[in-house]
Amino acid sequence: MIRMIAVGWIFGLLTFASAASAQLTHLHVVEVGSGSPSFVVLHGGPGLTHDYLRPEWDALARYGPVLYYDQRGCGQSDWSGPLTWRQHVEDLEALLEERAPDEQVVLAGSSWGAVLALLYAHTYRGRISALVLSGLPPWRELVDARAARYEELSPAAKDSFRRSVERVSFDSYPVRDSLWIANRPGVLGDVISKRLRMGCPLAADIIFQSLYDAPRLADLRSISVRTLIIDGDIPDPRGSGAANVADVLPNATLRILPGTGHDPWLDRPDAFFDTVGEFLTRSQ
């Protein structure tokens, strides 16, 4: 059974005020199954939507209800407010507080979604029972190297950079100015306009810049929940963080699926979700 959820659930929009932002936030939420979610699946990008994960990740519904949502600044969710990694973590915390206040969930993520899952697990320890991570980007390049460059700045430059990252959002004029052509009726086709907004590189740029103060690779050692990391054996030119993260996490299992790349769940969905199923069975 597939149904749209809303809290005050109206048209699939979850409305709440998150801790990191006083603004009212609307997240587009879709649930597969009924009842409190057993799984929350985080999409990649940053700047994509949950749609591309389906129907493959719906396979988790054989084990319990699955919840997807478009992250802030993506798809049909709110595009207002800050787009930092901390804001995304707080959005996820507010979502779990609303949908699963008294239950633990399995948090799953693909690519950037796997990064967000780890950032959340490092920040909030009590709400998740396990992690399922696919296509992890290289953490050292994504976080550690960026943090090291930030530390080389002067105090004044650090302050300026920090304030800039926190203030940039889709509400700011430079960002609105860069998107105006996608919103002009008749200028671009509907499909092109949708793609410009769905996979907006601006969201990725803003979020990645904010990772200067994210937990470094060594800091992830404090995440103790059972974790399954799945990666492919086809080299990704951007690199992979699967092995490095698996080495750091104290309770991680790394599985390499032959013949797959950055998205093993897409290349070999049956093998991928069989591997996930075995992990979930052992975790019970």
Residue type, position 126, single letter = G
3-class secondary-structure state, position 247: helix
- Element (DSSP H or E) covering residue 139: helix 139-139
Strand partners, 105: 128
Alpha carbons 32 and 16: distance in angstroms, whole number = 22
Model pLDDT, residue 154: 86
Residues 116-155 pLDDT 10s: 999 999 999 889 999 999 999 999 988 888 878 877 888 8
Residue among 209, 230, 273, 208 nearest 55 (CA): 273
Residues 31-44 pLDDT 10s: 999 888 999 999 99
Domain boundaries, the chain: 2-142+210-283
What token pair was written down for 274? 């069989």
Alpha carbons 231 and 214: distance in angstroms, whole number = 23
Strand partners, 68: 30, 41
Domain 2-142+210-283 sits in which CATH superfamily? Answer: Alpha/Beta hydrolase fold, catalytic domain (3.40.50.1820)
pLDDT < 70 positions in the chain: 1-25, 167-202, 283-284
